Structure 1
Amino acid sequence: MKILIVEDDLVLCDVFSTFLRDAGHDVLEAHDINSAIDRLRGRGFDLVILDYYLPDGVSLPVAEYSCVVCPDARIILLTGSGVFPNGEAAILAPCIDWTLRKPVPLEDLRALVEYAALNQHRAAK
């Protein structure tokens, strides 16, 4: 599975990347909105793991752009804040499939990535 991790916490990003590479996935990283959009161009990702707050703003434009250039990609939104307590992010960006709260247990991430791999093509919403 080809995964883009968009996370500005470099240590956390490295932990996620290493964990997912060790599980056999092809992982690229981005640390802000502009680099995420650059990485998404023409790369055919299957999954985007997206931190909600990035140094250059909230990441919803990345989710929207991902839907355009990688329409079958699934999106996991990460947040350490109290926003979207009931998963409301999908209302603002319908292409967001799941929301996980930080700190994210690696086993939860693994389970969700495996689930996304089994259900790779976006179901009609």
Structure 2
Amino acid sequence: MDVLVVEDDPNLAFLWGEVLENAGHDVRIVDTETAAVTSLQKTPHDLVILDLCLHGKKALGVATLATYRNPLCKVVIVSGSAEYSRRTLFAMSPAVAATLRKPVDIEDLVQVCEAVGRNERHVPLPVLEASGVAFRQ
């Protein structure tokens, strides 16, 4: 899978990138909404791992643009903020396939990416929530 990691914490971005590459994915890492938009305009990524708050600003517009370039692209939102409920995040963009709350267990991140990748052609259905992770089925 071609994965775009959008994360402003350099340590997390590096860790997530390394782990996803070791799992066999092609990974590009960016740390701003502008860089994410530029990358999405150049490459139709299959999956976007999106930190909801980048440098203090909400970056949900990245999710919408991701599906413009690739209608099958899915987005996993990662957030340490409780400002939005998971259901609200799913309602903001049909591209949102899963949400994770920080701190993220790295094994959960890999499992979520694999699950989203296997189901990328499914029509979004109601939300399933279990063990700190929420999926759109």
Work out whether residues 33 and 56 of structure 1, in 8 Å CA contact, stay in contact via their aligned partners in 2: no
More strand by share: 2
Deviates more, 1:45-54 or 1:82-91: 82-91
**Counterpart AA for 2:83:** V
Count matched residues.
125
Compute the TM-score of the two structures, normalised by the length of structure 2: 0.85
Structure 1 unaligned spans of 5+: none
The residue that corresponds to 1:102 in the other structure is 102
| Secondary structure in 2 matching 1:76 | strand
Shift of 1:97: 1.4
Q: With CA pairs under 8 Å and 6+ residues apart, which has the higher RCO, 1 or 2?
A: 1
Paired residues for 1:23-34 under 5 Å: 23-34=23-34
The residue that corresponds to 2:59 in the other structure is 59
Moved over 6 A (4+): none
The percentage of aligned residue pairs carrying the same residue is 32
Encode CA deviations 1:66-118: one digit per residue, 9 max, x unaligned. 12112101110000011233432111223211110001101111111111121
Distance in 1 separating the partners of 2:122 and 2:35: 24
CA root-mean-square deviation: 1.5
Compute the TM-score of the two structures, normalised by the length of structure 1: 0.92
Distance in 1 separating the partners of 2:124 and 2:94: 11
Distance in 2 separating the partners of 1:29 and 1:116: 19
